[in-house]
Amino acid sequence: MTDELEDILDRIEQQSEVLPLPPKGTTARQFLQMVMRGEIDPTPKQFNAAKVLIEYQEAKLSAVALGHFDGQDFASALERAILRSQAHYVPRPALAPPVQQSADELKKPFVLRRRNLR
């Protein structure tokens, strides 16, 4: 019985010692590529760490718009804004002036035309 137990413990030790580690200096992308090719079989902890780490090691791809072809770049827009801010401010009236009516028209009684549909 003790021989069987020692054999089992030896196999467990051998399995725990055989953890293929990637070479030093390997990036998370290279590590995951090694996993995809079947070169190594990582532990779940190593795999999760590589998934999280790849976001910090690799730059995110995003679209960049260029608008300098027709004078729409940031520098020209900034120059136009500076020129607008240096111009003299002339406030515009918020409402149109009221329509002037003659005094004779205003002296007449106000007729309330109401249709009673009750």
Percent of the chain with pLDDT over 90: 15
Would you list the domain boundaries of the chain?
21-85
Say if residue 31 is exposed, middle or buried (CB neighbours under 10 Å; 0-12, 13-18, 19+).
buried
pLDDT for 59-111, tens place per residue? 887 776 655 556 677 888 888 899 988 988 888 888 888 888 888 887 877 76
Around Cβ 109, how many Cβ atoms within 10 Å? 5
pLDDT for residue 71:
67
The residues, ordered by sequence, that sit 6+ positions from 40 with a Cβ below 8 Å of its Cβ are 20, 21, 22, 31, 34
Answer for the pair 27, 57: CB distance below 8 angstroms, yes or no.
Answer: yes
Check residue 20 and give its pLDDT.
65
| Other beta carbons less than 10 A from residue 30's beta carbon | 14
Q: How far apart are CA 115 and CA 118, in angstroms?
A: 9
State the average pLDDT over residues 4-30: 78
Give residue-wise pLDDT tens across range 30-72: 999 999 998 888 888 889 999 999 988 888 877 766 555 566 7
One-letter amino acid at 60 equals: K
pTM for the full predicted model: 0.40
